[in-house]
């Protein structure tokens, strides 16, 4: 059932949803599916707490926890959860990442690998203070780039954050994304030495990064593109015109847990391709309401059972 607006939020506080401790007790008993990945995006966690609740966007942790509950309740757990950026609420404060780490920890305790990406509301310096392992594991120095090898495909989480220098703690940076030359060069070398299909992920849409767009156009092994940023579920076929014959690139725009389309996407792979299923938890803008408008409920209902497919050639 696709729920509209904030209809589910009071239920969590009333313990309608299972307690997290109960889910954690069950999760280790479950098998991990190496071909299953859950994609989250735009979780926007505020770590500045007042009386135990975020100073702004107090519903965000509840919304994220509902998604985590659903993931932990799956019959077979995903081997990976990937968050495509905007982990922090607005300015990428260190306390945002500390609270996000606390909220995401049940996934890792269940044996699920969690990979975080950079969005325009994130800040690398603060992020690395909480998650220093990313500096050691990144594929490209100075950026947060992660390679996840699945049985049938390589998934690469790129760093599209365009972070202005010398930002003050509460100063906004560029909203649009960029892809630096070092990441493009790494991608060229990575795809040149592998015959496996590749799914690329960033926070920002492909159209904001012309150099990445050209790389994708010139690289047939890129089987699909996944991104967030706009807080909406969408699937678009891009026609890549730089090669003959013309090639279609499927793309998936992920929902958020902040506002807009609310939920997550589950990707399952096979040697033939990847299937995405959207799990809708509702719609709201800019915050949930006790009585959501009918249009919000219709949006969530329209997206119930939405799917998208990437073909591995």
Query: What's the CA gap between 42 and 262, in Å, rounded?
Result: 10
DSSP 242: S
Report pLDDT for 14: 35
pLDDT by residue for the chain (313 residues), tens only, comes to: 233 344 444 333 333 334 555 655 554 578 999 999 999 999 999 999 999 999 999 999 999 999 999 999 999 999 999 999 999 999 999 999 999 999 999 999 999 999 999 999 999 999 999 999 999 999 999 999 999 999 999 999 999 999 999 999 999 999 999 999 999 999 999 999 999 999 999 999 999 999 999 999 999 999 999 999 999 999 999 988 766 678 899 999 999 999 999 999 999 999 999 999 999 999 999 999 999 999 999 999 999 999 999 999 8
Residues in the chain: 313
What percent of the chain has pLDDT above 90? Answer: 86
Closest CA to 32 of 72, 83, 84: 72
Give residue 228's pLDDT.
98
Residue with tokens 């942790």: 61
CB of 17 closer than 8 Å to CB of 179: no
pLDDT reported for residue 8:
43
On whether residue 49 sits in a domain, the answer given is yes
* b/e sequence 177-216, b meaning 16+ C-beta within 10 Å: bbbbeebbebbeebbeeeeebbbbbbbbbbebbeebbebb
Between CA 185 and CA 180 the distance in angstroms is 9
Asked whether residue 4 is domain-assigned, the answer is no
Whether the Cβ atoms of residue 71 and residue 23 lie closer than 8 Å to each other = no
Residue 1 resides in a domain? no
| Angstrom distance (rounded) from CA 210 to CA 202 | 13
pLDDT of residue 25: 59
Task: Give residue 247's pLDDT.
Answer: 86
Give the pLDDT of residue 244: 63
User: 3-state SS of the chain: helix, strand, coil percent to 5?
Assistant: 30, 30, 45
Residue 84 in tokens: 């495509």
Give the count of domains, the chain: 1
The reply to whether 32 falls in a domain is yes
3 belongs to a structural domain: no
What residues contact 267, with CB distance under 8 A and at least 6 apart?
36, 37, 38, 39, 274, 275, 276
pTM over 0.85: yes
Helix axes 181-192 and 210-218, enclosed angle (nearest 10):
10
Residue 263 lies in a domain: yes
Q: Are strands 273-284 and 260-270 parallel, antiparallel or unpaired?
A: antiparallel
Structural domain containing residue 111: 9-164+171-311
pLDDT score recorded for residue 122: 98
What is the three-class DSSP state of 114?
strand
Residue 250 lies in a domain: yes
CATH number for the domain spanning 22: value is 3.60.21.10
175 falls within a domain:
yes
Q: Which residues make beta-bridge pairs with 231?
A: none
């Amino acid at each position: 059932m696709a729920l509209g607006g904030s209809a589910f939020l009071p239920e969590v506080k009333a313990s309608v949803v299972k307690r997290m401790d109960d889910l954690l007790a069950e999760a280790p008993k479950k098998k991990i599916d190496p071909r299953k990945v859950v994609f989250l995006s735009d979780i926007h966690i505020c770590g500045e707490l007042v009386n135990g609740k975020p100073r702004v966007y107090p519903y965000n942790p509840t919304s994220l926890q509902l998604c985590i509950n659903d993931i932990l309740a799956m019959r077979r757990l995903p081997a990976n959860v990937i968050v495509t950026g905007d982990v922090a609420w607005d300015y990428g404060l260190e306390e945002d990442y500390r609270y996000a780490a606390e909220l995401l920890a049940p996934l890792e305790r269940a044996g699920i690998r969690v990979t975080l990406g950079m969005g325009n509301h994130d800040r690398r310096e603060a992020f690395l203070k909480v998650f220093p392992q990313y500096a050691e594991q990144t594929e490209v120095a100075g950026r947060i780039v992660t390679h996840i090898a699945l049985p049938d495909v390589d998934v690469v989480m790129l760093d599209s954050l365009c972070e202005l220098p010398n930002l003050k703690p509460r100063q906004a940076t560029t909203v649009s994304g960029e892809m630096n030359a070092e990441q493009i060069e790494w991608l060229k070398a990575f795809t040149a030495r592998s015959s496996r299909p590749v799914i690329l992920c960033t926070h920002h849409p492909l159209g904001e990064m012309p150099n990445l767009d050209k790389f994708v156009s010139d690289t047939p092994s890129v089987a699909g593109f996944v991104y967030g940023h706009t807080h909406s579920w969408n699937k678009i076929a891009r026609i890549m015109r730089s090669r003959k014959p013309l090639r279609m690139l499927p793309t998936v725009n992920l929902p958020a847990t902040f506002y807009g389309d609310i939920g997550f996407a589950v990707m399952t792979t096979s040697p033939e391709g990847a299937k995405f299923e959207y799990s809708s938890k509702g719609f709201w803008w800019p915050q949930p309401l006790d009585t959501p408008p009918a249009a919000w409920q219709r949006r969530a209902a329209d997206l119930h059972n939405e799917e998208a497919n990437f073909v591995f050639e």
